[in-house]
Amino acid sequence: MGVSCVFSYPVPEGLSGAQVVEVLQKQVETLGGIKAGTFLVDCETYQSVMLNTPKTLHILHNSEHPASCFAILDSGATLVADTLFNGLMSNLKNYYQARKGAKIESKGQRFQLSDFVLKIGSVSLAGSMKGVLVEVEYCPSVIAGDCWNLLKELLQSLKINVADPPRSLKPKMDEIYTPAVTMLQYLDHFNSFRTAAAMSQPPR
Is residue 96 a contact partner of residue 48, using CB atoms and an 8 Å limit? yes
Q: What is 118-130 written as a DSSP string?
A: EEEEEEEETTEEE
> So what's the pLDDT on residue 52?
76
Q: What is the mean pLDDT of each run of 10 residues along the chain (204 residues)?
A: 93 89 95 97 91 86 95 90 83 82 94 97 92 96 95 90 89 95 96 87 59
> So what's the pLDDT on residue 86?
80
Determine if the pTM surpasses 0.85.
yes
> So what's the pLDDT on residue 201?
67
Is residue 170 a contact partner of residue 148, using CB atoms and an 8 Å limit? no
Q: Where are the domains of the chain?
A: 3-197
In sequence order, what are the residues at sequence separation of 6 or more whose Cβ sits closer than 8 angstroms to the Cβ of residue 189?
6, 8, 106, 123, 133
Given 1.20.58.340, 3.10.20.30, 2.40.320.10, 3.40.50.10470, which CATH number is that of 3-197?
A: 2.40.320.10
